[in-house]
Structure formats: structure tokens, C-alpha cells
Amino acid sequence: MRWALILLALATPALGDDLKIGHLSLAEDPRYVQDWGYARLITPPPVVTADAARMAITDLQFTTDAVGLTVTLDAQAVAETDVVTTAQKMVADGTAYLVLDLPGAAVAAVAVALKDQPVLMVNATAPEDSLRSACHANMVHSGPSRRQETDAFAQYLRAMGWDNVLILQGDSPEDSDFADAFTASAERLRLTVVDRKPFTLAADPGNREGNNVRLLTAERNYDVVFVADTRGEFARYVPYATQLPRPVIGSVGLTSQAWHWALERDGATQVSSRFDKLTGRKIQPADWNVWIAVKSLITAAMKTPGADPAKLRDYVTSHRLKLDGSKGVTLNYRPWDGQLRQPILLATTEAVIAIAPIQGFTHQTTTLDTLGADEAEFVCN
């Protein structure tokens, strides 16, 4: 092998810049470490998205070498109580670009703590729309917002003619957010929500209307059941158990994702295979979110030498960024809410069934803006 030959690539003029990227996650993220052995769930291997950050750096090394950009990664996995102090310390130590793989509440806390610091943060994995409408000046969001996910569902239901939706909703704030986002998406495309019912996991015989799937789905007329259950413990019992024979979507059945290992168009297979080879596990949507976050930072840094976080944010939220996420179209971030424009996959555990924007849904600037909060309706809170 002639790996030494890579050095010749340095023949092009060097900028001699350094790009230090931070990656902050929880040592035990409840979203990934699902210790539910008692429930006989097949749990995926722990997701360590720092792997995806490393892959992005390796993927682009040929190019960064060619322009003389040195990229380093400082990955920290800490307890939830230490998140804010760790983030502050990373910035104090010279990290100007910080990728956050944290639950929504922790992202919000870090955003507030670092709001006046010279840092550009990328929220990679918290889907809360409230983080977008908070309009943090030094934050963008690479993972899909809830609203992008639910707009993808709404387009699919509209295209399939499944107009009447029964919503079942769990009791966590995340479940309620998910159901709210879906309801807003349904309104946008004039779908009918026939009912929105809370469910409970407790098998209390006095509350059968709230814990028995057949009774919960005893409505006379619905085309599809949308389950908002971000923990997934209830949702998995809903398919094939509804009173009427209807498909189930949301947290189970057909789900809405940034990425899926089975995606095989547009170079997606190569991304997933490289990840398999690097980590020995199947790529998860959170990994793609972090990979594209780091890729966008490096791509922008190469195009705007002498990187300054504020300049980089301007660059990534402009049409000058033409980011390749192996989803068939170029990606960039929306200037109004910092959200990455991207296609959303509608997938089962085994296959990608459809990719939104679904053909036929059009928009005056880019069809990707049919997913998520659009400029005209967006307000900062």
C-alpha cells in the first residue's frame, strides 16, 4: 500500500488552520441505554456517537490534508449533572465548535450557559421544536426536528389517502410534544384527527379504556393509528392488536427517521458500510446526525478560512453550503431556525418505505421546506 503517497496531496497551498471539534454526550444516555431486560426487549448495542464524529473526520481527511486543515476531536461523555460545567470548560480550553448528543433539557441548559461564548453548537440528537424556536444565536440543529418527522408522516398519509388518524399518546412530556407536532402536521395537510387518547401502562382493571389496545382503538372510523410513545414500551403491543385492521405509525410500525441502515440509494450503503467496519455495529439515526454535524463543520471551515464561529454559522445557513449527506440532495441549514434541511425516511425495522418530501408536495423555494417549521409561520419564543 502506498499510503505515504497521501502526503503528496499537501502540494496544494496550506492554510495551516486548526479546527478543534468538541463532542459532548452523556455517559449513560437514557435514550440509548435501555436497560429493560425484564421486558424482554431486544436492546441495540450502546450508541456512542463519538464514533460517527471520528468517521466524519476520517472521511474528509484527504480534503482537509489537501488544504492544510488539521481537525481534532475532543469527545467527552459525562454525567447529566456535569454537562454544563464540562461544556464551559471545553469552550474555555479552545473548542469553538461543539456537537451535542444530549437530551433536550441538557441541550437547553448548555445553550443558555454558552449563549455569549465564542462557540458554534450543533444540537445533533434532541428533536424538540422548542429548541428551534428558542432561536439560540450560536446553535444549529443537524438531527430532524419533531415537526420535520411528523410532516413526513402527514405527507405520506395524504399521499396514501389515509386521511383519518387516531392518536394514542403516552404520559411523558416527549410523548405529548410528539403528538402535538403530529397534530400540527395533520392540520397543515387537512388530515382529520378522529381522537387523541392517552394510554397508560398500568393494567388497572378500572381503567381498561386507557390500557387495553382494543378498547383504545374502538373508534368507528380511522384509517391509521399514530402512537406517540417515545419510550416504546407500550407502542410495541399496538400493531396487529387494534380493533379495526389498520396500520400503526409513529413510535412503532412505520417510523420517521433521519437515517436507516437499509437505505441503499445515493451512496448511503457506503456510509453505513464504513460505519459497520469502523464500529462493528449497525449505524443508528443518531450516528448519522452526529456524522453530518461534524461533516458540515469541517466543510464550512474549509470554505471559510480563519474560522470564526459566527462566520461559520452564516456560511452553513446559506445556500453556499452544499453538503452531501448521502441522501440524494444537497443539504444546508435554515437561516430562521438553524435546522438542517433534509429528506426524512419513513421506515419499518427492515426497510425504507418512502422518503419525504413525497413527490407532489411542492414549495416556492425548496421542497425540503415542506418538512418542519417554514419561514412564514416560524416565530422565535
DSSP 200-246: -S---GGGHHHH-HHHHT--S--SEEEEE-TT-TTGGG-TT-SSS--
Binding another protein (rule: CB under 8 A), the pick from 2, 40, 190, 220 is 2
124 binds another protein (CB under 8 A): no
Question: Could you tell me the smallest distance in angstroms from the CB atom of residue 66 to another protein?
Answer: 5
Q: List, in sequence order, every residue forming a beta bridge with 26; answer none if it has no partner.
A: 78
Binding another protein (rule: CB under 8 A), the pick from 60, 114, 124, 356 is 60
8 binds another protein (CB under 8 A): yes
320 binds another protein (CB under 8 A): no
12 binds another protein (CB under 8 A): yes
Closest among 256, 260, 269, 203 to 234, alpha carbons compared: 203
- Which contiguous run of DSSP H or E holds residue 273? helix 268-279
First-to-last alpha carbon distance for the chain, in angstroms, is 56
Question: Could you tell me the smallest distance in angstroms from the CB atom of residue 13 to another protein?
Answer: 12
Task: Closer to another protein by CB, 36 or 62: give it.
Answer: 62
Query: Do the beta carbons of residue 253 and residue 192 sit within 8 Å?
Result: no
280 binds another protein (CB under 8 A): no
Alpha-carbon distance 20 to 276, whole Å?
25
DSSP 33-69: ----GGGT--PPPPP-THHHHHHHHHHTHHHHHHHTE
Question: Could you tell me the smallest distance in angstroms from the CB atom of residue 324 to another protein?
Answer: 5
DSSP 375: G
Binding another protein (rule: CB under 8 A), the pick from 329, 336, 354, 361 is 329
Question: Could you tell me the smallest distance in angstroms from the CB atom of residue 292 to another protein?
Answer: 12
Binding another protein (rule: CB under 8 A), the pick from 273, 349, 353, 380 is 273
Q: How far is CA 276 from CA 90, 290, 309, in A?
A: 29, 15, 32
Binding another protein (rule: CB under 8 A), the pick from 39, 207, 328, 353 is 328
324 binds another protein (CB under 8 A): yes
Task: Closer to another protein by CB, 35 or 264: give it.
Answer: 264
62 binds another protein (CB under 8 A): yes
Question: Could you tell me the smallest distance in angstroms from the CB atom of residue 57 to another protein?
Answer: 11
- Packing angle of the helix pair 173-188, 146-160 (nearest 10 deg): 50
Query: How many residues line the site for another protein (CB under 8 A)?
Result: 27
Binding another protein (rule: CB under 8 A), the pick from 63, 72, 172, 318 is 63
318 binds another protein (CB under 8 A): no
Query: Do the beta carbons of residue 101 and residue 25 sit within 8 Å?
Result: yes
Interface with another protein by CB under 8 A: which residues?
A: 1-3, 5-6, 8-9, 11-12, 58-60, 62-63, 66-67, 267, 270, 273-274, 322-324, 328-330, 366
